[in-house]
Structure 1
């Protein structure tokens, strides 16, 4: 699909340029209605809708605020600190200390970017509805547009809870100013159900959803809605389905070129960096690189997250006690001062998720600690760096650059990968008290982690004391199963932008307040700063600007 985007852009320029009377050509960058009334117009508009998957709508707010890879929503959870210095990006600092405002620029930019995606999908649906049947069969394009609209609306739903629904009818009638009386789950399910029925099982072009992706997404929607029975049914279909999808042999390949559009990837944002020859890549994630890449020190994993990777003598997680001991931290220790890394048992996924002193970092050498941290010890960032979003030193095809020297990664972002499907299925199974099924699917994920290649400082020996095993028997009861599945999601999907919406559906209040206390033990600058988490934070504030522009039609979420 990446090549087709370029091709269609060239065609778009041709449509605009080839006219007998240039004075009648639409404004630069715009298409006339007449130019769109055909198959080429449908494809152009559909490509435009796909382009909003990365959030880069250029419709307000910073590139970072519009990011669609979930990095800054992790900062709203217990997985990540903002990073960098406290004064850089104050709206993100507000998330850390639980000082959420309705005027927060990140909240506003994400709202605008998602509705831009909804509107572009609606434009495709509206155009297809107007075309004469002689123009061709556009059922495939319609299914893709409805899938995209369902995706953008899902992102709105889990972030804000009470959102307006803008349909293609609204688009045709230019009635965009709609109220937000409550959830729009039914609309999302309608779109994803249509996509499931009408999309093909395979696509010739990468990046386009299949019926299997729609089925998995539908299971995800049901799970977040709280309908665990339908969720289990849909996710079981995907897990047991006759398709190519499955777990990669190597866990880390999901965050390397080898994982781009691989068998584990059901749906991904297609980033490309062009060996740094153009300003492409993950624009929204350009702040999130540590010292060896020179920009900019944001998105730092928490001590709480790293502690969660500790395992017991049997290689199993410390579900209730993981914060009773800490993975050794170099917080407050300069790089030229002695430091001894943690010697206890760790799940090997720890060092593919969290960059820490004394452990090899993505081909750039052994992490030296403070020298790779932009923040001061007095800032909230802590000592750790992200790894999954950072390209490998050897993968130049994934290395990009920006207009002021920043870095951009070409690593695709997985909206849904097969491990996520297994763990969503396990969660639904646990909630439905199907304990054997839940155990089997969790163990499938843990088995892959155990059998993957471990991080090594010397290319031969494991860099730490990695120990992981499968659960030896079926979960003993439903309470234990639910706890184990939720914990596994954090281990497998940490720093992938999923955590906030997981804990919101489980009840984030106790999780976050316990995190504030535990994190302050090891990062003293963090201690006592965040205000207590209140249940109203389970929904984000409707942007003040949106309410003002609506003339009062939009209503604010409770508590703001």
Structure 2
């Protein structure tokens, strides 16, 4: 049977041995890794079936942005995120390391390749190392204490502790991956969805921010902001209208730093922003009445909505939750309702669907008719992840069993994020005046982005720029709140609270204090425990499989 032990790969397929033998197949190999990042089923968590892949869900539920439609009986996995009652069985661990393994295979193959064009080889290595760094970065944010795995690892039972039992620090290796990508990638790329030099620089700077290395981060921001360009070679800037970033027809714009691609109508249903299948307004027709036929799982919180109130055009940093933006929570859609008349930031109505306000080109949000279970999730609908009625048939529609599909990319970083991180760095080690300039760039754009009902603003919008940030303590409060408003429901908020060290204070005294009263049956007295809930538990199956020489090489996170 020896002749059957080794079989050459068929001429219609590629293996690790032949994919890096010429430029075209090597480029295709790296493109395949991007495809894995885009394909929701490839990223699906074992327990959640793919519906918790998008970090917006997990962090929104764990933080102060989202409510869940139901209790533990209907959906225990999602309820665990919502109530900070996670167990070591819940995890996206497999998906993070699956993509790390794939990136490592590419790095190994590219490093050994002898026949590739040197320039092509270097660009592909930069992309592969960026993806490896990005996945470790996501793992670090979510699990905290994880091992770093590179292409040289043979025994994958790598410990997450040192000889003394302390958790290892993998930030230097993540920095090195992003630094290699920054040093080697071109600024302009052949495809607009590929990572470029300046995206790598922005992620390196963000890695510094997560370590409070503000001086190093500021040095990069000082380069990125005036000279950085997107993959098409266009200088980074804010788009004129806030909403441009959340419309399929205007994505890949000057504000895009890095986005994970989605597509519709390509025959693979899981490429079409599949993670958001359960997160459209509930009920009705997905083609004639509203975006998506299902399922209203994750609904914006009252605490988030209240954050968009303004006083003399500025956010109410400390008293935003003292009174509520009026909602139709106790009204049916057939009952008469008058929307909130107070002053608001228009970014609210591009982020959250609420009764009486136009919902893109679908007409005015009708309220309860689009809500699954108002007593649990509340009266609001998500908006940034959905699509226009005009997109149906070309960029969005229903597939499979009738679930919604759309081609809106998921964008982990846009230039607004960069500007606000740069403002943070300036506040800590630079100039409050420069920080003020960056923050006011964001606010100027917000003021120019009203939601219209015909030719008239749909609500009482009032946004002005800050005249001053005050002292450093007040400046921190301002930039942190601005990130809350600008980046709401994009997957940043919970990680921000953790890196600032204030997750326990904000969640326990602001979010739970508000939502526990309104959602007592759902939240069941939930609290955030400092020193535990900042990170997910390492899954038991990973720890069980880490045994080497009779000992576990993975140590569980504190508190679990």
Q: Deviations over 1:224-251 (max 9, x none)?
A: 1211111111122111216411000111
Query: CA shift at 1:389, angstroms?
Result: 0.3
Matches within 5 A, 1:33-72: 33-39=16-22, 40-54=24-38, 56-57=41-42, 61=46, 62-65=48-51, 67-72=53-58
1:382-413: CA deviations, max 9, x gaps?
Answer: 11110000111212333143422111221111
Residue of structure 1 equivalent to 2:457: 462
Decide whether aligned partners of structure 1 residues 366 and 275 sit closer, same or farther in structure 2, where only a CA change above 3 A counts.
farther
Deviations 1:184-237 (A, max 9, x none): 110010011111110001112011111111111111110012111111111221
Give the structure 2 partner of residue 196 of structure 1: 182
Q: Give the counterpart of 2:68 among 77, 82, 89.
A: 82
User: Is 1:492 matched up with 2:486?
Assistant: yes
Structure 1 unpaired stretches of 5+: 1-20
- For residue 528 of structure 1, report the CA deviation from its aligned partner: 4.6
Does structure 1 retain, via aligned residues, the 8 Å contact 2:293–2:402? no
Matches within 5 A, 1:103-122: 103-104=89-90, 107=91, 110-122=92-104
After superposition, residues 71-470 of structure 1 pair within 5 angstroms as 71-83=57-69, 87-104=73-90, 107=91, 110-133=92-115, 136-137=118-119, 138-170=121-153, 173=154, 175-181=155-161, 182-241=168-227, 243=229, 244-274=235-265, 278=269, 280-291=271-282, 292=290, 293-312=292-311, 314-377=312-375, 379=376, 381-396=377-392, 397-432=394-429, 434-452=431-449, 454-457=450-453, 459-470=454-465
Post-superposition offset of 1:534: 3.3
CA contact (8 A) 1:259 1:265 kept: no
Give the aligned CA root-mean-square deviation in angstroms: 2.3
Deviates more, 1:180-189 or 1:344-353: 180-189
CA contact (8 A) 1:331 1:523 kept: no
Change beyond 3 A, Cα 1:241–1:33? closer
TM-score, with structure 2 as normaliser: 0.89
Shift in Å, 1:523: 3.9
Cα distance, 1:65–1:466 mapped onto 2, change above 3 Å: same
1:48, 1:120 within 8 Å by CA — same for their partners in 2?
Answer: no
Which has the higher mean CA deviation after the structures are superposed, 363-372 or 291-300?
291-300
Shift of 1:66: 5.3
Is 1:556–2:556 an aligned residue pair?
yes
* Correspondences of 1:482-521 after superposition (within 5 Å): 482-507=476-501, 508-514=503-509, 515-521=511-517
Asked if the contact 1:517–1:527 (Cα under 8 Å) also holds between the matched residues in 2, the reply is no
The alignment's TM-score, normalised by the length of structure 1, stands at 0.89
Q: Label 1:325 to 1:66 Cα distance change in 2 as closer, same or farther (>3 A).
A: closer
The size of the alignment, in residue pairs, is 526
Is the contact made by 1:63 and 1:283 (CA closer than 8 Å) also made in structure 2? no
**Does the residue aligned with 1:267 lie in a helix, a strand or coil?**
strand
SS of 2:457's partner is coil
Pick the structure with more helix per residue.
1
Match of 1:10 in 2: none
Listed one character per residue, the Cα deviations across residues 155-192 of structure 1 (whole Å, up to 9, x for unaligned) are: 0111111101110101xx3x222111223110010011
Work out the CA distance in 2 between the residues paired with 1:528 and 1:495. Answer: 23
Q: Secondary structure at the match of 2:389?
A: coil
| Structure 2: tracts of 5 or more residues without a match | 162-167, 230-234, 283-289
